[in-house]
Structures are given as structure tokens and as C-alpha cells.
Amino acid sequence: MTGPAGVQEGTGNLSTKDADEELARLFLTSVLCVPVTVRDRRSGRSTYDLEICYPGGRRDAAEVVSTRTQEHAAQLAAVSRAGYTVDRRLTQSWIARVPSGTRIGRVRPVLPEFLNELEQNGITDLSSYRDYGPGMRERLHRLHVSSCLAYEPTDEHPPGFYVYPEATACWVGDGEGIPRFCEEFLRHPAQSDVLAKLATAGTSERHAVIIATSDQFGLHTAVDMGRTPSQPPDLDERVDWLWVITSQAPPALGCYWPPQGG
């Protein structure tokens, strides 16, 4: 089943893990129309993340996990710390994109000289996927840069540059990859803690909630575009409900499968 989380609340200034849990809480509350609460993070016990509270006292457990990789999270954190770099050697405002996994701190010191050279040669839009003559593609590879694009500077952004991860793309398809991805993701040893917490929850039903982040672009885009799979996922016996929610500020889109399928 698919549907939007019909909420406009923000997640505020939370840690990544807390923001994932808050997004899941808002989404499940909107769809199930019952209170969903965050478990006590300071209890000192390794327990499931969310508790779903039904009328009559029934309680269900939900464990939240994201597809975010440590490498991607570290790169985004480095981009945020670096911000915009003003450099007097430049006359334009630039955006330089780097491949996934590139260390931002390695690229920033060597960029100004390279960007200045581009300006001197009248180049304002450079991509490693185009042919700019012998040697340029190799230079971009050595610099760990995939593209550079210049804009007219402004008072807010005088001559200088940003460094961002390059945009990713893949074939979205018809959504059939959503349950396949989730099956493999939950079976991976890295997610064993998710199943272990649900197995010991002691509740009527157990919910696995996957937050689809942008570094898993195919999954994120398929869910965000509302692509509905024709077949439910083959779930571990410790999972009764499966939820997949796009990682973005609410309102967000998601898919979910109840125990009876559909």
C-alpha cells in the first residue's frame, strides 16, 4: 500500500538517528491514526525505537533503520562544514562536484588554482563526461572532480566555490525493485540488530521501518514517485509490517505492507 504522511510538522534540529525516528513516528501516526511514541533513549537498554499504542491497551513495536551509508553521511557532513569558500583568485562563483566517497578536504585546497585556469581559458561549464581535448579527463580524475559550473557572483556569494557530491541517477523502473531491495537490506548482517530487537519485543506485531535516503537513489526515487510494486516482499518471520519512507522533510511518501499482504 502507498500513501503520503499527511503531516506538516518539522523534525527540528535533531541528530540524524533522531530525525529518522521522528519522521517514522509522524508517518506511522498519520497512516494508522493511533498514537506512536518514541521509546526512552536514555533507559540504558537496547530496545526497539517506537511504540504503537492502540485503543484497549495493545502495543506494537517498530524498529527504524536507514539506508544511509557511513561514507555518504561523512561526505555530507564534510560538505556542511566546508560551506562556501571565498577566493580572490577567482572572478566567478563556482559549484564543483565530486564523486561519491571523495574526501572534501582533499579537493578544496587544489580547486582555486584549477578554477582560475578554467576562467583564464573561458571555460565555465566543465564535465568529465565531455571531450575537452587530450589530458583534461585525466586531470579531473586526478583532482577527484567530476564537473565544474560557474555562475555570476553576487553580494551573498562573491567569487569562490562550493564543493558538492555529484548528482546520482539510475533507472527507476516500475517499483518492483522496492521489495527486492528491502528483502536484501534486512537480510544483510549489518541489519541483524533490527531483527534481534523485534524478536525480543514481546508485542502483538512487529514493524520494520526503512528510511530510504538519497544515496540509495533508485529506491528513494521509486518510493517518492509512488511506484507501486505488484508483489509484497518476502519478509523474515520476525517482521509483520514493513514500511519504506523517503528521507525528506514531511510531508513524505512511503510504501507499507501489513501482515495480510497487499
104-117: per-residue pLDDT in tens? Answer: 888 999 999 999 99
The model's pLDDT over 133-169, given as tens digits with 9 standing for 90+, comes to 668 888 888 898 888 999 999 999 999 999 888 765 5
Cα 25 off chain centre by: 17
Residue 81's pLDDT is what? 84
Residue where the block lists cell 495480510 = 260
Residue 243 has pLDDT above 90, yes or no: yes
Lowest mean pLDDT among 21-25, 39-43, 159-163: 39-43
Confidence of residue 7 (pLDDT cuts 50, 70, 90): very low
Residue 65's pLDDT is what? 94
Residue 24 has pLDDT above 60, yes or no: yes
Residue 44's pLDDT is what? 54
Can you give the C-alpha Rg of the chain in angstroms? 22
Q: Taking each helix axis from N to C terminus, what angle separates 177-187 and 217-224, rounded to the nearest 10 degrees?
A: 130
Tell me the mean pLDDT in the region 181-201. 92
Residue 129's pLDDT is what? 56
Q: What's this model's pTM, rounded to 2 decimal places?
A: 0.66
- Beta-carbon neighbour count of residue 260 at 10 Å? 7
